[in-house]
Structure 1
Amino acid sequence: MFDLNTIVRPNILALQPYSSARDEYSGKQGIFLDANENPFGELNRYPDPYQSELKDKIALVYSIAPENIFIGNGSDEAIDLCLRIFCEPGKDKALTFTPTYGMYKVSAAINNIELLEIPLNAEFQIDINSAIASLKDPAIKVLFICSPNNPSGNTIEEIETMIKNFKGIVIVDEAYADFTNSSLLEKLGMYPNLVILKTLSKAWGLAAVRLGMAFGSKAIIDLFNKVKPPYNISTLNYKAAIEKLGDIQGFEKAKFLLISERERMAEALTKLPQVVKVYPSQANFLLIEVRNANRIYDYLKQNNIIVRNRNQEIPNCIRITVGTPDENKKLLTILENSTL
């Protein structure tokens, strides 16, 4: 039986959170003389610390109750909060599977948490037997799984097996899941130790807004709200997100185009002599193995096309984000005309 209180750091359980002026009075009418705000201007008031209107929009889009939603300054804030809430610095550990999103490692280092890294297999999937054996370490409190995985692009299998065999918190990073029909969000109620991360940076096209979401049980979301800074989302970003979430038709149209372009690029790249392999992707990027990643990366950069060189993580691999049809055409033309 999962017991959340045995996972949370004792000082977090005992923490008395900061009470802002908007915690003590949440009404929208009145003469506001409580928060030491400047009374003049259009952006002079502090934002809603709990982003109620935005959560209502997200609840409709993803069919989940607002009480199960946390809004963060990018998914990176939620990643950091998971470590701060559940892991004792210098004592507890976290676990992830590599290659994967680099901020798990950075956030763990910032919080003085040892991050154990288990390599994914040749198909970028979890070796379930070795993974479950590693979970026997009682110091491991948090598990990070990115699906679809960055930088490989594939969805990860056996996630539910990992959840069922772990007594700590499982964070499933679904930053790219909007490009798939695969999400654990509908099963959130089945697993009290599950936290799902999503973002408006990818399929929704709001990377500049820096708005991430964490979905979990009300008990976990309450902890996030307890620890976060009081006004972590600006009014400008808040309003931009609400506007974007109201345009479902535009979202679906852009997503369809990106997926179509991804498949077109994958087919075209496979035919190039410089390309050894194009890995299957369910994200908005392609991981490709080439004959010389460093040379191709430099060649594209000289032609003002910037891709991501992943040679150090995955030998001779580069990651290409799906751009506009015109951008993708230019990339393919430059590679087709090269002598590399």
Structure 2
Amino acid sequence: MNIQDLIRPTIKALKPYSSARDEFQGVTDDMVFLDANENPFDNGVNRYPDPQQGKLKALLSEIKDIPTKNILLGNGSDEVLDLIYRAFCEPNQDNVIILPPTYGMYEVLANLNAISLKKINLTADFQPKVEAVLAQADSKTKLLFICSPNNPSGNSFSQDAIERLVANFKGIVVIDEAYIDFSNEPSWINRLPEFPNLIVTQTLSKAFAMAGIRLGICYASTEIIQVLNTIKPPYNINELTQKKAVELLSIKDLTSNQITEILKERSLLISELKSVSYISKIYPSDANFVLVKVDDANKRYNQLIEKGIVIRNRTTQPGCENTLRLTVGTSEENRILIGVLHDLS
């Protein structure tokens, strides 16, 4: 597969904006910067941030065992996804495939970028219909979005199914691994060298407990990363975000300990949910949430709101009639949730 054939012609011809900090390398503390029209009075944020996020990428490279040249960072994963659309999809011409029920921003971004959608619903047990997906793809189908572990169902897709899709789809395959750190399944970042058309997105918002700083991560071939770097805003990751991410990622065992606690609480929560009379099904979860089927999702959602507990009602999503999505909270939060669920009539 020639990735160049998938890139929009206007993007291939685009000359990227060169910021002041892009043009000069080798920064040292004793240098005088008079190049970027910044306010010279130091308050910790008066200078533009590193446009290539060198320290942060180096740390992620060490954690994930992926070269920095294969990493692009975004202002949340949504910016990463938007960049992918803009790099590969021609407005009012191309189309993409999504697999509902799935993350809602894939559709929002398609509409924002004037890209047609092909929706191929997952099976009853929330697995991709591989042959249907491949059959629906045409010469204008540029992207396939795979969310695994899937939101809102919580399950991981079959590795065999994903491999068949990545190997046979003629466009770019984006595997969204926002919840991969809660799963025992291997990440697809380890297989990037095998598939030039593969993009894997991850985030610091879930397992790494940094939703407030909005930092998404894209792992791909150097060819794809170069294209996305061409069109990303010059200073898309601000200084405060970069510093906070480096600070928290540097704390040994912080994330692994929190993941262990969340997985323990997930198991306890599932065990307790089994005794709630109006819950008829608890779906398998490889994420930090649990999807449950109830007698009346709208009724139960409103009852929980009245008790001060906010969850997600997913009943309008394909295959999710009368389902509620429950995030795994702290031990105390989960205890409160279970107590309220038992008290509802």
Secondary structure at the residue paired with 2:142?
strand
Aligned to 2:122: 120
Mapping of residues 192-271 of structure 1, within 5 Å: 192-271=196-275
Amino acid at match of 1:68: N
Amino acid at match of 1:167: K
Aligned to 1:170: 173
Give the distance between the partners of 2:86 and 2:257, measured in 1 at CA: 38
Aligned to 2:34: 33
- Alignment counterpart, residue 312 of structure 1, candidates 316, 329, 335: 316
Aligned to 1:20: 19
- Alignment counterpart, residue 91 of structure 2, candidates 89, 92, 110: 89
Q: Please state how far the C-alpha of 1:181 moved relative to its aligned partner.
A: 2.7
Q: Please state how far the C-alpha of 1:216 moved relative to its aligned partner.
A: 0.2
Preserved contact between residue 207 and residue 259 of structure 2 (Cα < 8 Å): yes
Q: Please state how far the C-alpha of 1:200 moved relative to its aligned partner.
A: 0.2
Secondary structure at the residue paired with 1:153?
coil
CA distances 1:184-241 after superposition (whole Å, capped 9, x unpaired)? 1111110000000000000000000000000000010011111000000010000111
Q: Please state how far the C-alpha of 1:132 moved relative to its aligned partner.
A: 1.7
Give the distance between the partners of 1:131 and 1:203, measured in 2 at CA: 30
Aligned to 1:336: 342
- Alignment counterpart, residue 293 of structure 2, candidates 289, 292, 296: 289
Give the distance between the partners of 2:22 and 2:322, measured in 1 at CA: 52
Aligned to 1:275: 279
Give the distance between the partners of 1:248 and 1:226, measured in 2 at CA: 34
Give the distance between the partners of 1:33 and 1:40, measured in 2 at CA: 12
Q: Please state how far the C-alpha of 1:338 moved relative to its aligned partner.
A: 1.7
CA distances 1:15-61 after superposition (whole Å, capped 9, x unpaired)? 00000000111232311000000001221000000101100000011
Give the distance between the partners of 1:261 and 1:223, measured in 2 at CA: 41
Q: Please state how far the C-alpha of 1:299 moved relative to its aligned partner.
A: 0.6
Give the distance between the partners of 1:217 and 1:249, measured in 2 at CA: 29
Q: Name the % identity.
A: 46
More displaced, 180-189 or 147-156? Answer: 180-189
Size of the alignment, in residue pairs? 337
Aligned to 1:303: 307
Preserved contact between residue 155 and residue 284 of structure 2 (Cα < 8 Å): yes
Q: Please state how far the C-alpha of 1:337 moved relative to its aligned partner.
A: 1.5
Aligned to 1:130: 132
Gaps of at least 5 residues in structure 1 are none
Q: Please state how far the C-alpha of 1:161 moved relative to its aligned partner.
A: 0.5
Aligned to 1:327: 333
Preserved contact between residue 96 and residue 118 of structure 2 (Cα < 8 Å): yes
Give the distance between the partners of 1:181 and 1:57, measured in 2 at CA: 23
Q: Please state how far the C-alpha of 1:336 moved relative to its aligned partner.
A: 0.9
Amino acid at match of 1:319: R
Give the distance between the partners of 1:164 and 1:9, measured in 2 at CA: 22
Aligned to 2:188: 184
Secondary structure at the residue paired with 1:163?
helix
More displaced, 181-190 or 315-324? Answer: 181-190
Mapping of residues 22-101 of structure 1, within 5 Å: 22-29=21-28, 30-41=31-42, 42-101=44-103
Secondary structure at the residue paired with 1:98?
coil
CA distances 1:242-284 after superposition (whole Å, capped 9, x unpaired)? 1111124111110001011111111111211010100000000
Q: Please state how far the C-alpha of 1:159 moved relative to its aligned partner.
A: 0.8
Q: Please state how far the C-alpha of 1:110 moved relative to its aligned partner.
A: 0.3
TM-score when normalising by structure 2: 0.97
Preserved contact between residue 278 and residue 295 of structure 2 (Cα < 8 Å): yes
Give the distance between the partners of 1:156 and 1:89, measured in 2 at CA: 30
Amino acid at match of 2:339: T
Give the distance between the partners of 1:181 and 1:22, measured in 2 at CA: 40
CA distances 1:93-143 after superposition (whole Å, capped 9, x unpaired)? 0101000000000000000001111000010001122122112x1110011
Aligned to 2:105: 103
Gaps of at least 5 residues in structure 2 are none
